Amino acid sequence: MPRSAARLADIAPFHVVELLTRARELEAAGRDIIHMEVGEPDFATPAPIVAAAVDALNSGKTLYTQALGLPELRQAISDFYRHRYGVAVPASRIAVTNGASGALNLAFACLADPGREWLLADPGYPCNRHILRTYEGRPVSIPVGPESNFQPTPAQVGAAWNEHTAGLLVASPANPTGTLLTLPEIAALAEVCRARDGHFLVDEIYHGLTYECDAPTACAAGDDIWVINSFSKYFQMTGWRLGWMVIPEAFVRDVEKLAQNLVLCPSTPAQYAALAAFRPETIAILEERRAEFRRRRDFLAPALEAIGLSVVARPEGAFYLYCNCSAVAADSFALARKLLEDAGVAATPGLDFGANAPEKYIRFAYTTGVDRLAEAVERLRRHCGR
């Protein structure tokens, strides 16, 4: 029998999908399930973005675009960097992609040589290491914890770097923890990579969803840094599959060659839609929703703490709380199953984010309204006997 490639043995499914399947069974049987496992805003795409797509479709804009995206969208993203961050990023360095996933695929297709090692934080977003593995790069985990706010430090990166290391990928805000890197922290990590002729990639897909301050962009720390962003989270365009990547000048041509061959172009309707994403009326809607996410976080974090689910990382951004559940259960995966079965609350076990003490942690997403969050807290309180 012909078989799959060897890499498949290293590519894990999402464990939470198993829980989700069970959640749907329970719902089909009439149970009420509160979904706190979902990494997706519960808001539909803002109306001005949808209207722009409808206009484009009705005027026949359904053909291929350039492989790196519509020039006017690349320019709009460049303008966004200037207006929001005060950073000059030329449109020529911006590639529009099939979501941040598409950006990471192109980045690792461009950079990852077989067997070369890349440093990634653990816990971290699991797809990143699986995308890397698919292009035959080797993910190497840097265990991160509360002592460094769940972000890798320059000292850790320096210590982990060896002759096989090709680069470093970090995320700010991070998933599953929501923690941020400051600009000096980003600059220090960049310097570690630069001194070793390594690549430095920064995942900024939760930018815009921060609640104490605006997150600084790594674009301000050097034009040799790869920066990945998305229209999914802040702009609430998940299903459209649109993102972008800022590419160091020397690699733009290689990424373009890859995009021509691997994807042809990003979705044309999504690109026309995204042209409306930066308009003042859209931003006004998005900022209201950001305030709503903040209200949810400010309600949920102390409520979980009171039950014994300790929020271990400063949840500065994204829409997740990463909790240490050791006080209420020995194994977070078993806890996630029990919470679903007994309390009707779906959450994501640490197992989906790596191998660094995953049994201690569980992630709650506040991608549902405060009323439902309050109901979830009440159910959790009863379940935990607090």
Q: Which of residues 55-74 bind a copy of itself (CB under 8 A)?
A: 57-58, 60-65
Range 11-50, binding a copy of itself (CB under 8 A): 11-14, 17, 40, 44-45, 50
Q: Which residue, 271 or 324, is less far from a copy of itself as judged by CB?
A: 271
Q: Which helix (H) or strand (E) holds 108?
A: helix 99-111
Q: How far is the CB of 128 from a copy of itself (least distance, A)?
A: 9
Range 219-258, binding a copy of itself (CB under 8 A): 224, 236-241, 250-251, 254, 256-258
| Nearest-angstrom CA–CA distance, 375 and 343 | 10
Q: How far is the CB of 27 from a copy of itself (least distance, A)?
A: 16
Considering the rule CB under 8 A, would residue 6 count as an interface residue with a copy of itself?
yes
Considering the rule CB under 8 A, would residue 369 count as an interface residue with a copy of itself?
no
Question: Cβ distance 294 to 103 under 8 Å?
Answer: no
279 closest CA partner among 220, 235, 229, 230:
235
Question: Cβ distance 134 to 104 under 8 Å?
Answer: no
Q: How far is the CB of 29 from a copy of itself (least distance, A)?
A: 19
Q: What are the backbone angles phi and psi of residue 166, rounded to the nearest 5°?
A: -105, -30
77: left (phi over 0), alpha (psi -120 to 50) or beta: alpha
Q: Which helix (H) or strand (E) holds 165?
A: strand 165-171
Considering the rule CB under 8 A, would residue 167 count as an interface residue with a copy of itself?
yes
Question: Cβ distance 205 to 350 under 8 Å?
Answer: no
Q: How far is the CB of 77 from a copy of itself (least distance, A)?
A: 19
Q: How far is the CB of 106 from a copy of itself (least distance, A)?
A: 10
Q: What are the backbone angles phi and psi of residue 111, rounded to the nearest 5°?
A: -115, -25
Q: Which of 147, 163, 197, 371 binds a copy of itself (CB under 8 A)?
A: 197
Encoded one letter per residue, x for contact with a copy of itself by CB under 8 A and - for no contact, window 284-323 reads ----------------------------------------
How many residues bind to a copy of itself according to rule CB under 8 A?
73
Q: Which of 143, 146, 158, 198 binds a copy of itself (CB under 8 A)?
A: 198
Q: What are the backbone angles phi and psi of residue 125, rounded to the nearest 5°?
A: -70, 120
Q: What are the backbone angles phi and psi of residue 356, rounded to the nearest 5°?
A: -95, 90
Q: Which residue, 204 or 316, is less far from a copy of itself as judged by CB?
A: 204
Q: How far is the CB of 151 from a copy of itself (least distance, A)?
A: 22
Range 83-102, binding a copy of itself (CB under 8 A): 98-99, 101-102
In the 8-state DSSP scheme, what is residue 39?
Answer: -
| Nearest-angstrom CA–CA distance, 278 and 291 | 18
Would you mind telling me the total number of residues written for the chain in this entry? 386
Q: Which of 33, 34, 109, 328 binds a copy of itself (CB under 8 A)?
A: 109
- Strand partners for 348: 363
